[in-house]
Amino acid sequence: MRKIKLVEVRSEIAAGTRGASLGVDALKIASLDKKSNFFTQFDPINVPDANNFLWKGNKHPHAKYIDGVYQVLKNVYSTIESLRLEKKFPIVLAGDHSTAAGTIMGIKAAHPEKRLGVIWIDAHADLHTPYTTPSGNMHGMPLAMVAQLDNLECKVNQPLAETLSYWEKIKKIGGDSPKIDPRDVVFISVRDTEEPEDFLIKKYGIKNFSTAEVRQLGISKVAQEALQTLKDCDQLYISFDVDSLDSSISVGTGTPVPNGLTVEEAIQLNAELIKDKRVCCWEIVEVNPTLDTENTMAEIAFDVLEITTKSLVDNF
């Protein structure tokens, strides 16, 4: 039996749009409206955020609020490391996607000898660095943080020295070596990338199951192939960004993109993937109820959360 622990991370400093910090509570409202007892089943732990930095103004144009991002990543990292050492299975409910880097750092720190694979279900590749980002929003950088990539080959920005000193510190949270090999990442439904990210995807041969491929192959085959791609990994982490869903559905998220997954596809996919015994942590991010009407995004995201968790409980 898995010892599930809910981890709540109300961080939104790394998103370009305000409101993702309310996503965790929007999920709770959704569960109440659906008369679900989900949140009474598992003890939640709250990770302190650094959203107060938003009031101070940004000093880092190519990595916005990186001083605050550094703080919250350390908090997430140490929480996840402790939970993994206690053999708990963290189900992480987070705001902006940058904190997934902290989750990965924590998983790796608890078991440094284990090769960690990542299944990243998202519209975006989140492989930017301060040297390549067009927006400066750090929720587009978590995978570069944990793979310790700078991508200087595609450098377009000249980040400030102070920005880079924080960037170096972030890459070293949980130890000064890469937490993952970028070849051990599988993307699902990634469809909104920039050139510097395409360069890295090509360089490392990162597999992306496009939405068309998901439909063509069917969910069980995609899940099977994704897991097969990561066959040499000892443990797996699944990160579900709600913007992987089609923009007609994912209105309540900061960066919706067309041609995404349907709700049914997302539910089946996560429920299927989490059955692999190597999966040690699952995360859902980027619900932003301020962009929504009637809390629709959170209600959909809650269905994904509840059914995926049930699949985990039923299978172990």
CB of 116 to Mn ion, least distance (A): 18
Give the interface segment with Mn ion, choosing from 40-48, 90-98, 185-193, 303-311 (CB under 5 A): 90-98
Nearer residue to Mn ion within complex by CB, 241 or 306: 241
Q: Does 191 bind Mn ion (CB under 5 A)?
A: no
Residue 128 near Mn ion by CB under 5 A = no
When the beta carbons of 198 and 234 are compared against Mn ion, the nearer one is 198
Cα-Cα-Cα-Cα dihedral sign, residues 81, 253, 54, 125: positive
Q: Please report where in the chains the tokens 């305000």 appear, as a residue.
A: 18
- Min dist CB 232 to Mn ion, Å, is 25
What is the rounded distance in angstroms from the CA atom of residue 201 to the CA atom of residue 75?
29
For the chain, what is the radius of gyration of the CA atoms? 18
3-state secondary structure of 304: helix
How far is it, in rounded angstroms, from Cα 141 to Cα 12?
14
In the complex, the smallest distance separating the C-beta of residue 35 from Mn ion, rounded to whole angstroms, is 30
| DSSP tally for the chain: helices H, then strands E | 12, 8
Q: How far apart are CA 300 and CA 172, in angstroms?
A: 36
Give the pair of three-digit tokens for residue 85: 């050492």
Q: Answer yes or no whether residue 122 interacts with Mn ion by CB under 5 A.
A: yes
Q: Which residue has the tokens 């859902």?
A: 284
Question: By rule CB under 5 A, what count of residues binds Mn ion?
Answer: 5
Cα 297 to Cα 207: distance, rounded to the nearest angstrom? 28
Kindly write out the interface string for residues 236-265 of this chain, putting x where it contacts Mn ion by CB under 5 A and - elsewhere: -----x------------------------
Among 28, 62, 74, 97, binds Mn ion (CB under 5 A): 97
- To Mn ion, the closest distance from the beta carbon of 255 in angstroms equals 8
Nearest distance in Å: CB 241, Mn ion = 4
Site residues (vs Mn ion, CB under 5 A): 97, 122, 124, 126, 241
